Chain A
Amino acid sequence: MDKKLVVSSSPHIRSIESVQSVMTDVLIALFPVALMAVLLFGYQALLTMVISVATAMLVEAAWLRKRDIFGDGSAAVTGLLFAMILPPAPPWWLVVVGAAASIIIGKQVFGGIGYNIFNPALVGRAVIVMSWGGHVAGRVWSPPQPFAFGADVSAVTTATPLADQGEALAVSLTNLFIGNVAGCLGETSALALLLGGAWLYYKGHIDWRIPGGYIGTVFLMGALFGGGFYNGHLMTGLFHVLAGGVMLGALYMATDMVTSPVTPKGKLIFGIGCGLITMMIRLYGSLPEGVTYAILLMNAITPIIDNYTVPRQFGGVKKNA
């Protein structure tokens, strides 16, 4: 026989899923969130997202010296997620600097996709919060103007419900759930976030343990230690789940594959840890919100969590610790 055959190690068939298809699924999951952001915050939200995604993709393509700017899709995901954690109408240069920092400091300096330790979008946010805090803290938040696409939302500003108890008592749980409150672009609508999260769960890209552990812990701590200021203890727990970035963080940031544990037990520990730190910052820290630092801190100990939670193999004996 003269024909040359491919000889390689089994298995000889592979699933059609690729890094690109996974990233595309994440983009699809973010679609309802992005749509809600535009409905609530108008054209400025759309502009912020477009600038952020374009910057992230271009910076990554330039760094990797590749012409294919979409590539594996991970830069687009980082860019979109970074936009989601910005105020509705930030200055354009802040978006550019932050998105570029996400890609370069958050990802490429570690060796690119798969090697980064911290969630790239959150690194970008940490950079701008530390450098230009005035644009993302205090009474800079624009209240949403539903269905007013062309309005300048930045004309009026307020504080977020988490930063100001008076503001918190003024919003109903329904509005918190739908997202009709001041806050970051993508964090306000629990409804849209849950829709996208359900899609990611259906596609098998996220495990219940991280969001479950995270949201569960936030609820419990909010109910137990939140002071019950929001119509009683249980409602206060629910308020802490729906207000601020917990839903966005738990469903899209903490579940980032690269920077979270791979073991089932590790994922649960990671989720609970994120919840604990978030609530400690919110309740006892000097910042109104703690999602960014909670996830970044847990990212740092992800390898340790993985090391200590190696699953028992099939038929393995229980270790007497």
Chain B
Amino acid sequence: MGSTVFKGGVHPDYNKEITATMAVSPMKPPSKVVIPLQQHIGAPCEPLEGIEVGSEVKRGQKIADSTGFVSAPIHSSVSGKILAIGPYNHPLGSVLPAITIEPDGEDRWDESIKPGGDMENLSAADIRNIVREAGIVGMGGATFPAHVKLTPPAEKPIDVVVINGAECEPYLTADHRVMLEQPEEIVFGLKAIMKVLNADKAVIGIEDNKADAIRVLEKAIEGEENISIAHLHTKYPQGAEKMLIQVTTGRVVPAGGLPMDVGVVNFNVGTAIAINDAIREGKPLTERVVTVTGSGINRPANLLVRVGTLVSEVIEACGGMKESTMKLIVGGPMMGKAQVNDDIPVIKGTSGILALTDQDMYLAESSPCIRCAKCLDGCPMFLSPTGIAQFAEFEKYGDAEKLHAMDCFECGCCSYVCPSKIPLTQWIRIAKAEITKAKKK
């Protein structure tokens, strides 16, 4: 084992106590769902044949798919009638094609939904296929298709599976709750992953601010010799894959590389549960746990929400949003996306909906850099955020690249710590986009 603390990072106010003790409750069925055809990293899906305006669909029925390998099919989260197929607001900040469905209120399951059978009788290929057909993507927010991670190239064998229960984003408690409420499902999903990858070891990493979840999962893995729990020091971004892999396995993912380069894959706890549900019950990924919180939410909660439910309805189910709300964010406060309005659907990667008021945020004008180097100390990738930002400001993107701008994964620590309140992460994003653009030419 390497060091149990990664270098860099920050200690924001976590504000998790708002919802940490609230059990997950299913949200009442929505009045309509808007299901985007792109909810994952990779090729967008196309509606299947017979899926058109006016056609009837059932809950769990596959409604869109892609022939691309890096993609994940989309399923209806309700039974009902298709109202529209066309562009709709997307939480990632653009307008993308989506299928709008009006529920019939009967919630009839599709006939295809049936248990996949005993794990003993399932081959690695069977499980991989079940995961793909269930449309499972990384549920921590990255939304990378899970079956792709389960198909590493032959020259990169995987020996350790890391399960991410760090949940380092402030405010969010969705992973915390599922760890408390569904430990057995997490372990089952993990064992399926280990079987597919032929991995002989697994580590579940949990930050030590969730001592109850650590206890529950330690009980759930009793007798499992190959699975261990890593107690992680609470520090943001502990759940970032490179930091998580370093502290749980001692391995350092090379710059520009992937976890599989060091024999590791990692999955979020929610993804492990989705894999459990797909194998045991045949259920595709059509609902997820969302933490709805922030001082702008009247009744914060951890809700089980159907994919495609509009954020406006989710907030309504939580007693509405206060007038003083300044920012509406999908995801966590460090890496989540600020929204223009609430007319956007919950997708597979939506871990949180935050309504922040000036109680949560400290807004200030930015002033010149005083070279305090706090951004360098805070950067978990050991970059020089202020250096990259200055090059970006003067459009010297080649120099920004020499400072390893492309290694930045936009955790936000630099902007968070900056006493001059310079939007460093934003400048680095601009540099990254320009570097990528120049490469494509």
Contacts and interface: CB of A to CB of B under 8 A. Distances in A.
Contacts of B360: 13
B381 A15 contact: no
Interface of B: 10, 12-13, 170, 242, 252-257, 312, 321, 323, 325-329, 331, 333-343, 354, 356, 360-364, 367-374, 376-377, 380-384, 386-387, 402-404, 407, 410, 412-413, 415-421, 423, 425-426, 429
B415 to A, nearest CB: 5
Contact of B338 (A6, A258, A267): A6
A21 interface: yes
B371 A262 contact: yes
A263 interface: yes
Given A18-B419, A258-B371, A11 B412 contact: yes
Interface in A109-123: 111-115
Contact of A11 (B252, B335, B387): B335
A316 B255 contact: yes
A12 B362 CA distance: 9
B361 A12 contact: yes
Contacts of A8: 327, 338, 423, 426
Interface of A: 1, 3, 5-19, 21-22, 72, 74, 111-115, 204-205, 207, 257-260, 262-264, 267, 306, 310-317
26 contacts: A5-B328, A6-B326, A7-B340, A8-B327, A9-B426, A11-B334, A11-B415, A12-B327, A12-B334, A12-B336, A13-B333, A15-B418, A15-B419, A16-B362, A114-B369, A204-B377, A207-B373, A257-B373, A262-B387, A264-B376, A310-B384, A312-B382, A314-B242, A314-B255, A315-B255, A315-B256
B419 A7 contact: no
A134 B175 CA distance: 71
A194 B137 CA distance: 54
Q: Is the interface of A mostly helix, strand, loop or mixed?
A: loop
Contacts of A205: 372
Nearest to A314: B381
A150 B287 CA distance: 78
Contacts of B387: 262, 306, 310
Given A8-B338, A15-B416, A310 B407 contact: no
A72 B367 contact: yes
A260 B371 contact: yes
A21 B325 CA distance: 27
A14 B341 contact: no
Contacts of B356: 12-13
Given A10-B410, A310-B384, A314-B252, A22 B370 contact: yes
Nearest to B373: A262
Given A3-B325, A314-B380, 13 more contacts: A3-B321, A5-B340, A9-B426, A11-B333, A15-B12, A18-B419, A22-B372, A204-B374, A260-B371, A262-B386, A263-B376, A306-B387, A314-B255
B254 A315 contact: yes
B367 A257 contact: no
A19 B421 CA distance: 9
Contacts of A314: 242, 252, 255, 380-382, 407
A136 to B, nearest CB: 29
B376 A6 contact: no
Contact of B326 (A1, A5, A15, A263): A5
Contact of B417 (A5, A12, A15, A112): A15
A112 B425 CA distance: 24
